Structure 1
């Protein structure tokens, strides 16, 4: 059996705001749709499942993020997760210019949880709380291979 990670799905409060943030970071929208019907109810396990979806992809073509905004049933607001909570933790992006990525995030009102750290002179990285409270890690490799 072959296994390949296809995408990470994240429910968001406002799909347009989330798309704007992630496309400004450099992801590309592959497609958008509104999904509902018996097949969706069965696959997802929710009666009356009806969502707006958008599939985004990193420029290198290796990573995909599926965003979805619930039309029905009503989305349930939860407290944003903390970095040490069990469960879905964060989505991480490698960037070639962390300062530029942080300027982009700031345009959307998102800032590091505490600051930028340097890991063993290898990476500069930070966590920020992005759209709908999603924890987003941005990391810049300090000495990339040629």
Structure 2
């Protein structure tokens, strides 16, 4: 059996805020739609499922995010996910420049949870808290950038 990752789905509080954040990082919007009906109820497992969706793609054409903003049932607010919680909790991106990515994130009020770390001479990386509390890992591959820092 062949298997291929299609996308990562993320429920968001504010669709436009999330789209703005991810497009500023370099993703592009492939499409938007509103989904509802019996097929959506069955597929997702929620009665009366009604949501706005947007599909965004990474510049390399391989990764996609599907953002959901629920109209019905009401979205459930929970405490922000912590890095050590069991279950899916973050989306990770390789970036050419972590400093540039952090400048973009800061324009959206998103900052590193603690700081930027360097993993050997291989990566500079950090977690930021993105829109709707999404944990976003940003990693710069130092072996490709030629700007090794320690």
Same structural fold, with TM-score higher than 0.5 when normalized by the shorter chain: yes
Shift of 1:89: 2.0
Residue 104 of structure 1 is matched in structure 2 by: 104
Partner Cα separation in structure 2 for residue 30 and residue 89 of structure 1: 24
Residue 19 of structure 2 is matched in structure 1 by: 19
5+ long unaligned stretches in structure 1: none
Alignment of 1:1-146 (within 5 A): 1-144=1-144
Partner Cα separation in structure 2 for residue 131 and residue 81 of structure 1: 12
CA contact (8 A) 2:21 2:108 kept: yes
CA contact (8 A) 2:96 2:145 kept: no
SS at match of 1:66: strand
CA contact (8 A) 2:17 2:131 kept: yes
Aligned residues between the structures: 146
**Structure 1 moving runs of 4+ over 3 Å:** none
CA contact (8 A) 2:118 2:124 kept: yes
- TM-score (norm. length: structure 1): 0.98
Partner Cα separation in structure 2 for residue 72 and residue 145 of structure 1: 45
Partner Cα separation in structure 2 for residue 3 and residue 26 of structure 1: 27
Deviation string 1:5-27 (CA, Å, 9 cap, x unpaired) is 00000000000000000000000
Q: CA RMSD in A?
A: 1.1
Deviation string 1:29-52 (CA, Å, 9 cap, x unpaired) is 000000000100010000000000
Shift of 1:144: 1.3
- TM-score (norm. length: structure 2): 0.95
CA contact (8 A) 2:92 2:138 kept: yes
